[in-house]
């Protein structure tokens, strides 16, 4: 039985806990929704569940592949034979071994990743490949302390040492030392069960935000850009997985919304390009720059129908107890 439940993604900034709240404010008429910074695909997935036609876009290739697997895909799952293909053979010395041994993973683990990447290309359809890569992404994330690839090797080795981790943090991190195959198989059922058909032609895209806006026709645009002034360097967090997918170094992308000095200029450029969309929805929070008053002022230069609603939201940072409560903002704009 299919679950229509988003599987575990592990994506910093993912809106899984509040995606129902966000999508609940979309127009009741089932229009076409453009999720322009789709990230971990939680809002796209909720909109798909609610019966909207969804177009997901993200500049990270791995997020595009994730949206291919969970949003665009309506029926394809991975079979036992597919799994045999993925894990067949002996580890090889490929791109990951040559470039990331003792950088993010141990040499033997890099060799395993090289074999699995080669084997995934042997799967019969693009959706099987997308699902397999999404599951391999999940496996790589589970083995990575803090679930991101911006950690130095010395710290990774420390935190993957269970005795050290427990002594200093009172936490055991045995899952970091489980194999990629273990994590892949542990999550396989939930990913397979999450695939469903909402009877709409949903689509995944992999463009820079401004190129995507020019290409996409939709009634609703949902914007969840990196929150300037917070942990928002997604290239550093997940670019390694793009490199793994492509077997080459991917250049840092533009329009990353990282620098405060460019934030207002970037938002003005973004809002000025949205004239063709009837409804705009923008997520942001109280820890970010610009603040809510600055964003409201800017948005009101483009529409006289701007509403701001708020919701308390807890982001788990690390550990069991270190949590920070933020106020999540949702700006709702009806275009002039």
Span 213-255, pLDDT tens digits: 999 999 999 999 999 988 889 999 999 999 999 999 999 988 7
Residues 36-58, mean pLDDT to the nearest whole number? 97
From 166, 206, 194, select the one nearest 59 (Cα to Cα).
206
pLDDT score, position 315: 61
pLDDT reported for residue 1: 46
Q: Is the pLDDT of residue 127 over 70?
A: yes
> What DSSP letter does each residue of 279-308 carry, written as one string?
EEEEEEETTSSS-HHHHHHHHTTT-S-EEE
When divided into structural domains, the chain yields a total of: 1
On whether residue 170 sits in a domain, the answer given is no
Going by C-alpha positions, the residue among 135, 116, 120, 127 that lies closest to residue 187 is 135
Confidence check: pLDDT of 321 > 70: no
Residue 319, pLDDT > 70, answer: no
Residue 335 has pLDDT above 90, yes or no: no
Residue 329 lies in a domain: yes
3-class SS of residue 153: helix
pTM: 0.94
Helix 153-160 and helix 162-169, axial crossing angle in degrees, nearest 10: 90
> Across residues 7-11, what is the average pLDDT?
95
Q: What is the pLDDT of residues 253-269, one digit of tens each?
A: 887 788 899 999 999 99
pLDDT tens digits along 136-191: 999 999 999 999 999 999 999 999 998 888 888 887 778 999 999 999 999 999 99
Residue 150 lies in a domain: no
In this prediction, residues 315-325 reach a mean pLDDT of 54
Residue 69 covered by a domain: yes
- What burial letters (b/e) apply to 276-314, b meaning 16+ CB within 10 Å? ebebbbbbbbeebbbebeebeebbeebeeebebeeeebe
Q: What local confidence, expressed as pLDDT, does residue 164 receive?
A: 86
pLDDT for the residue numbered 218: 97
Instruction: Give the mean pLDDT of the chain.
Output: 93
- Residue 148: inside a domain, yes or no? no
Q: Is the confidence at residue 324, as pLDDT, over 80?
A: no
Per-residue model confidence (pLDDT) at position 167 = 84
- Parent domain of 275: 1-75+205-232+251-336
Give the CATH number, domain containing residue 54: 3.40.50.150
pLDDT at 317: 45
User: For 72-109, what is each residue's pLDDT tens digit?
Assistant: 999 999 999 999 999 999 999 999 999 999 999 999 99
pLDDT of 316 strictly over 80: no
**In this structure, is residue 109 part of a structural domain?**
no
pLDDT in tens, 280-292: 999 999 999 999 9
Nearest CA to 328 among 25, 65, 5? 25
Is residue 14 in some structural domain?
yes
In a domain, 111, yes or no: no
């Amino acid at each position: 039985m299919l679950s229509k439940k988003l599987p575990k993604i592990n994506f910093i900034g993912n809106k899984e806990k509040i995606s129902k709240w966000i999508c609940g404010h979309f127009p009741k008429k089932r229009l076409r929704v453009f999720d322009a910074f789709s990230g971990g695909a939680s809002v796209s997935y909720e909109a798909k569940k609610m019966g909207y036609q969804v177009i997901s876009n993200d500049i990270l290739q791995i997020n595009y592949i994730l949206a291919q697997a969970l949003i665009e895909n309506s029926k394809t799952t991975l079979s036992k034979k597919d799994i045999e293909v993925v894990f067949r053979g002996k580890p090889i010395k490929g791109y990951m071994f040559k470039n990331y041994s003792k950088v993010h993973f141990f040499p033997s683990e890099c060799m395993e990743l090289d074999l699995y990447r080669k084997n995934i290309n042997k799967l019969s359809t693009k959706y099987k490949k997308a699902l397999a890569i999404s599951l391999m992404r999940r496996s790589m994330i589970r083995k990575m302390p803090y679930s991101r690839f911006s950690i130095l090797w010395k710290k990774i080795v420390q935190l993957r040492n269970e005795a050290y981790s427990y002594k200093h943090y009172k936490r055991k991190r045995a899952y970091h030392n489980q194999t990629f195959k273990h994590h892949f198989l542990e999550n396989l059922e939930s990913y397979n069960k999450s695939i469903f058909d909402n009877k709409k032609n949903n689509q995944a895209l992999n463009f820079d935000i401004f190129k995507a806006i020019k290409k996409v026709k939709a009634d609703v645009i949902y914007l969840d850009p990196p929150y300037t002034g917070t942990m928002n360097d997604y290239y550093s967090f997940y670019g390694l997985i793009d490199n793994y997918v492509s077997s080459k170094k991917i250049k840092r992308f533009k329009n990353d919304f990282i620098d405060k000095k460019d934030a207002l200029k970037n938002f003005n450029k973004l809002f000025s390009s949205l004239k063709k969309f009837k409804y705009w929805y923008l997520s942001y929070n109280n820890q970010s720059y610009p603040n809510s008053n600055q964003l409201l002022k800017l948005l009101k230069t483009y529409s006289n129908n701007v509403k701001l609603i708020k919701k308390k939201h807890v982001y788990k940072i690390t550990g069991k107890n270190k949590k920070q409560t933020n106020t999540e903002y949702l700006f709702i704009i009806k275009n002039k």
